[in-house]
């Protein structure tokens, strides 16, 4: 397992559409391992492969990190796709390890159904609600070159990006609470 530096906006890899993973081999497994280690180190509750510079469709999530229960609810998804969305919506204060130091409320479908390839090669489906629904939508967005700031107004986005640049320039440690790092 390798700790990999997290790519920060405006890195172009964050805006690329990631390619599907053709088969789960040693390379794909070691990608997942690197992603998990990098996510736990950050710390964040979710990470997508483009965030470590790999334009492939893989995401990892562990909501247990919020309560120091890392490993309690680990998800490793290859080629995930959303196959159903609720009409009901929910709002959550989202942050992103690739947009450090800032966060904003984003409204998304409250429940989604996701189909993905598990690490063992099996096709699985899961229904996510609550924070897991927010997180899985945020991570799948990453695979399509979409960031949470694309879901808010241009005005708010510009303010956030200016604040992020200022914090980075000052090297200020103003990272939002870990449950906001998706
Ligand atoms: Ni993110």
Q: Residues near 23 by Cβ (< 8 Å), separated by ≥ 6? A: none
Tell me, yes or no, whether 35 lies in a domain.
yes
Q: Which of 94, 139, 177, 179 is catalytic?
A: 139
- Structurally, the chain folds into a number of domains equal to 1
Residue 139 is a catalytic residue: yes
Tell me, yes or no, whether 150 lies in a domain.
yes
Tell me, yes or no, whether 47 lies in a domain.
yes
Q: Give distance in angstroms: CA of 129 to centre of ligand 1.
A: 18
Alpha-carbon span 166 to 161, nearest angstrom? 9
Tell me, yes or no, whether 7 lies in a domain.
no
Tell me, yes or no, whether 3 lies in a domain.
no
For 95, the domain range is 12-174
Q: Give distance in angstroms: CA of 140 to centre of ligand 1.
A: 9
Tell me, yes or no, whether 180 lies in a domain.
no
Tell me, yes or no, whether 63 lies in a domain.
yes
Choose among 57, 42, 45: nearest CA to 6.
42
pTM passes above 0.85 = yes
Q: Give distance in angstroms: CA of 137 to centre of ligand 1.
A: 10
Tell me, yes or no, whether 102 lies in a domain.
yes
pLDDT tens string, the chain, 182 residues long: the values are: 789 999 999 999 999 999 999 999 999 999 999 999 999 999 999 999 999 999 999 999 999 877 777 787 899 999 999 999 999 999 999 999 999 999 999 999 999 999 999 999 999 999 999 999 999 999 999 999 999 999 999 999 999 999 999 998 887 666 666 777 88
Q: Give distance in angstroms: CA of 155 to centre of ligand 1.
A: 20
The answer to whether 112 and 130 are in contact (CB under 8 A) is no
Residue 49 is part of a domain; what is its CATH number? 3.90.45.10
């Amino acid at each position: 397992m390798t700790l990999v530096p997290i790519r920060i906006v405006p890195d172009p890899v964050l805006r690329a559409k990631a390619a599907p993973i053709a088969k789960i081999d040693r390379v794909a497994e070691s990608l997942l391992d690197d992603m998990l280690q990098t996510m736990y180190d950050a710390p964040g509750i979710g990470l997508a492969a483009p965030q470590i510079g790999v334009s492939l469709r893989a995401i990892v999530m562990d909501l247990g990190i919020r309560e120091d229960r890392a490993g309690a609810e680990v998800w490793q998804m290859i080629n995930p796709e959303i196959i159903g969305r609720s009409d009901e919506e929910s709002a959550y204060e989202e942050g992103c390890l690739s947009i450090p130091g800032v966060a904003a409320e984003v409204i998304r479908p409250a429940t989604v159904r996701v189909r993905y390839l598990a690490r063992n090669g099996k096709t699985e489906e899961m229904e996510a609600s609550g924070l897991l629904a927010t997180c899985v939508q945020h991570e799948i967005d990453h695979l399509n070159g979409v960031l949470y700031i694309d879901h808010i107004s241009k005005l708010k986005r510009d303010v956030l990006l200016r604040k992020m640049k200022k914090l980075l320039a000052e090297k200020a440690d103003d990272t939002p609470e870990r449950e906001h790092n998706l």
